Amino acid sequence: MVTEDNDFTKEEKEEFMNYAIEHVVPIIRRYARRISLVVSVLLAARRIDGERVREILEINKFKRDLF
């Protein structure tokens, strides 16, 4: 559990931010527009099929790009 007693040091915060910028931000950039579309479909229909989510996010395409 994170409390005031175990706050991160300045160095730990910087290390985390650098890691996030290098590894997490590219994933967010890649999917942000498509995630927005998933949310729009979900809001309009109140439900969305998993296959449609994979199609919108191009999940299978992403797997092919990795291997």
The position carrying tokens 């990795």 is: 66
Task: Look at the chain and report how many structural domains it folds into.
Answer: 1
Please give the pLDDT value at position 44.
94
CA distance 63 to 30: 13
If one counts every other C-beta atom within 10 angstroms of the C-beta of residue 9, the result is: 8
- Token readout for 45 is 């229909």
Residue 41 counted as domain residue: yes
**Domain boundaries, position 52:** 10-66
Write out pLDDT tens, residues 6-65: 688 899 999 999 998 999 888 888 888 898 999 999 999 999 999 999 899 888 765 555
At 64 the pLDDT is 54
Q: Would you tell me how many other CB atoms lie within 10 Å of the CB of residue 31?
A: 16
Residue 1 within a domain? no
Return the pLDDT at 4.
64
**What's the length of the chain?**
67
Helix and strand numbers, DSSP H then E, in the chain? 4, 0
